[in-house]
Amino acid sequence: MTDMVKTRLRRDDEVVVIAGRDKGARGKVIRVMKSDGSVLVSKVNMIKRHTRQTQNSSGGIIEKEAALDVSNVQYFCSKCKAGVRLGVKTLEDGRKVRTCRACGEVLDS
């Protein structure tokens, strides 16, 4: 059994890359892979994949996103205009919501 990485990021969150070749780049999360501890971010960490021609698809060089480690991205808070850490807060009605640690804004509607 593999250990799952705990993260508060979800699909369609806007994140900013804080380390690596694409530092400073922003994009939406396409997929969160908790088993690997990585995320796919649209138009960030692009790689070239050389694919062989098959009956179904034409071959060639395809550009696609490669996975980034969760530790190298931060949630982008639109109010703070920066990458921030996320916290969890329980509301009066008992719901748990994600909050911005910098400004305290509730991120989940």
State how far the Cα of 30 lies from the Cα of 61, in Å rounded to an integer. 21
| pTM score | 0.88
Q: What is the span of the domain harbouring residue 30? A: 14-84
- Residue 92 placed within a domain: no
pLDDT for 109 = 75
Q: How confident is the model at residue 3 (pLDDT cuts 50, 70, 90)?
A: confident
- Asked whether the predicted pLDDT for residue 87 surpasses 80, the reply is yes
* Of 71, 74, 53, 70, nearest in space to 62 by CA: 53
Note whether residue 2 is domain-resident.
no
Q: Is residue 35 part of a domain?
A: yes
| Model pLDDT for residues 9-49, shown as the tens digit of each residue | 999 999 999 999 999 999 999 999 999 999 999 999 999 99
Is 7 among the domain residues?
no
* CA–CA gap between residue 30 and residue 74 (Å, rounded): 14
**Residue 51 · residue 107 · CB < 8 Å:** no
Scan for tokens 């070749």, then name that residue: 21
Q: How many domains does the chain have?
A: 1
Residue 109 lies in a domain: no
